[in-house]
Amino acid sequence: MSIPGQAAADALVARLGVPVDPELLVLALTHRSFAYENGGLPTNERLEFLGDSVLGVIVTDRLYRDHPDLPEGDLAKMRAATVSQKALSEVAREIDLGPCILLGKGETSTGGADKDSILCDSFEAVLGAIYITHGIETAREVVERLVGPHLVAAARSGVALDWKTSLQEATASRSMGVPVYTCVGEGPDHARTFTATVTVDGTAYGTGVGSAKKHAEQAAAAEAYEAITGSDGSEPTVS
């Protein structure tokens, strides 16, 4: 199977800076919606699982070496900010990954090629393909080049946010209670979407959507953190 828009795929490989096994690249770009509509083809989800782990190891190693004086909690926040759905979808847009992803008709019609969740998952799958093709050191070079700027941004930001942890710290400092998350999954297995809502002391402060529960909860926590702290650090406001 070849990739529709082969020229776009070739340009993607050029932006990645390393060749990728062609069959693995196709697999990395095969979203479950496309696989479902084409007779149950293999999807990119196993490569995504692998790429997520590879990315986590590389980012953790970089943070550990670059910040010898930071405690584990701060390193965890910086890692979460760097490998978040939002950050990785931005990286995917920078390399113009969206047009290369194989999507079903439904996802294509609803702008799936520019959805944060799909871009994030597909980028991780591509990293998985690079790892299998070349090994950890080449994968590290690609991650350093593409994701490195986000590591720097996380280090420089005041709150290098793991949104769930930061929300919990914000509510604790205001004696508001512990954030409680509820998450509902909707849609068929090949196009599952999760919606999370976070409440504090019975009041809903944030809602988030993602292709995985963890992404939805992080998005909800981000919205709640902004509502509770305010952009100027003011007391919570609820819409």
Is 121 annotated in some ligand binding site? yes
Is 124 annotated in some ligand binding site? yes
Catalytic residue among 45, 94, 96, 124: 124
Sheet holding 193-200, edge to edge: 180-186, 193-200, 203-210
Tokens of 238: 């609820």
SS3 186: strand
Type of residue numbered 27: L
Catalytic residue among 52, 107, 217, 223: 52
Residues 42 and 197: their CA atoms lie apart, in Å, by 32
114 labelled catalytic: no
* Residue pair 153/159 in contact by the 8 Å Cβ criterion: no
Helix axes 45-66, 136-156, angle to 10 degrees: 60
Residues 49 and 127: their CA atoms lie apart, in Å, by 10
52 labelled catalytic: yes
Residue 106 buriedness (CB in 10 A; 0-12 / 13-18 / 19+) = middle
Binding residues for Mg(2+): 48, 121, 124
Binding residues: 48, 121, 124
Residues involved in catalysis:
52, 124
